[in-house]
Amino acid sequence: MPSAEGPQPTPRYKRALLKVSGEALMGDRAFGIDTGTVERIAREVVQVVGAGHQMCLVIGGGNIYRGLEGSARGMERASADYMGMLATVMNALAMQNALERLGTPTRVLSAIPMTSICEPYVRRRAIRHMEKGRVVIFAAGTGNPFFTTDTAAALRAAEMGCNALLKGTQVDGVYTADPKHDPKATRYERLTYRDVLNQDLKVMDASAISLARENQIPILVFSLHVDGGLAQVLSGTGRCTIIDEGE
pLDDT in tens, 190-208: 999 999 999 999 899 999 9
Contact 203, 221 (CB under 8 A): yes
Q: Strand pairing partners for 165?
A: 17, 219
DSSP single-letter state for residue 179: T
The model's pLDDT over 84-130, given as tens digits with 9 standing for 90+, comes to: 999 999 999 999 999 999 999 999 999 999 999 999 999 999 999 99
- Give CA separation, 5 vs 2, 105, 163, in Å: 8, 27, 27
DSSP single-letter state for residue 189: S
Contact 118, 91 (CB under 8 A): no
The model's pLDDT over 154-204, given as tens digits with 9 standing for 90+, comes to: 999 999 999 999 999 989 999 998 888 898 999 999 999 999 999 999 899
Please give the model's pTM, rounded to 2 decimal places: 0.91
Separation of alpha carbons 85 and 61, rounded Å:
7
Structural domain boundaries in the chain:
15-244
Q: Strand pairing partners for 221?
A: 167, 241
- Please tell me the predicted confidence (pLDDT) of residue 11: 57
The model's pLDDT over 13-59, given as tens digits with 9 standing for 90+, comes to: 899 999 999 999 998 888 899 999 999 999 999 999 999 999 999 99
Q: Residue 159 burial by CB count (10 A; 0-12/13-18/19+): exposed, middle or buried?
A: middle
Contact 135, 104 (CB under 8 A): yes
15-244, CATH topology level: Carbamate kinase (3.40.1160)
pLDDT of 62 > 80? The answer is yes
